Amino acid sequence: MGTTPTTPQNWPTFLGDNARRGGGSGEPAGTPSTPVWKKELPGMVVSSPVLQEELLYLACMDGSLYALDAN
Q: How many domains does the chain fold into?
A: 1
Q: Which amino acid is at 20?
A: R
Per-residue exposure over 44-68, b if at least 16 CB sit within 10 Å of its own CB, e if not: eeeeeeeeeeeebebbeeeeeebeb
Q: Which domain holds residue 71?
A: 43-71
For residue range 10-34, what is the model confidence (pLDDT) as tens digits?
Answer: 666 666 666 666 655 556 665 566 7
Report the greatest alpha carbon distance in the chain: 55
pLDDT score recorded for residue 31: 59
| Structural domain includes residue 66 | yes
| Structural domain includes residue 3 | no
| Structural domain includes residue 33 | no
Has this prediction a pTM greater than 0.85?
no
* 66 bridge partner residues: 58
More confident residue, 22 or 38: 38
